[in-house]
Chains A and B, each alone.
Chain A
Amino acid sequence: MKEGSRANALLVELLLVIFFFMISAAILVQVYADAKLKSKTAHATNFSMLEAQNVAEDLYSAKDPDVVLADYGFTADGSGWILEKDGYQLKVTLEEEDTASGMLRTYKISGIEGDKTLLTLPSTRFIPKEVSP
């Protein structure tokens, strides 16, 4: 009888241990998942930043920006050019503004992960035009 009650107590203890372990595991899995998500976003931010810088510099010095974007693998859609990369996408939009003596051409290069914009780099260049004296 004494041995039986000891076995019962052990069984109850084991059940309680398993119960608490399950609760702890559930919480810890959430912590790991959150860390993985953060790590993924950091990776996407870092790589999209490097790629966006390369594109911005090339566009600044390009004579024909469309060729540069096509070389990178961008595809044109209604609002700009899109490049799908591993875990993020780059989007390039063009804004042109006429000034008194030329044109301001601004390319906005955005790194996007899902619906979230990670960063936007403006690459602006002033292109002077010849003005007759």
Chain B
Amino acid sequence: MNKRKVALGPGAASLILIVVVLSLCMMAMLTQIGARNDYNLCTRSAEMVQRVYELNAQSEQKLAELDALLVTAQKEASDMDSYLEKVGELLPDDMTLDEDRITWTEPLDNRNLECIVQLLPPGEKQRTKWISHKLMVDEPEDDWEW
């Protein structure tokens, strides 16, 4: 007649299940949110870096075009003054000549790379020298995706 009494009442197991599953769900959700935020941040950061490198590549291509133009100007000029004058005539509209410096802007989406090169005297192997690569960002904070 020594009967064992059941210590767990009806419904207790269900209650424990609810508590355990809710706790696990909460932890899983927090882990998922953290991982997703890390992933988004890294992806965005990689995109930004990629755009900057693309802008740099564009600026080098533009420099190649400018260099071809400088070769033409050198062939037709005898001294530095006539060289600069000739360069001023041949320059495309998106570039400006200020004394011996040429300035232009490379746009890509909402980023602009302001480029400045210095013209070196005619006769040298290298016709230009980089002076500035300035990245300008035109992006209001409201446009950021969270």
Contacts and interface: CB of A to CB of B under 8 A. Distances in A.
B110 interface: no
A101 interface: yes
Interface string A10-33: 100110110011001100100110
A73 interface: no
Contacts of B46: 45-46, 49, 111, 118-119
Given A28-B24, A104-B61, 18 more contacts: A10-B6, A10-B10, A17-B13, A20-B17, A21-B20, A25-B24, A35-B34, A35-B35, A42-B43, A45-B42, A46-B42, A101-B68, A118-B46, A126-B60, A126-B64, A128-B126, A128-B128, A133-B122
B123 A133 contact: yes
A123 interface: yes
Contacts, number: 136
Given A20-B17, A102-B64, A35 B31 contact: yes
A42 B67 CA distance: 41
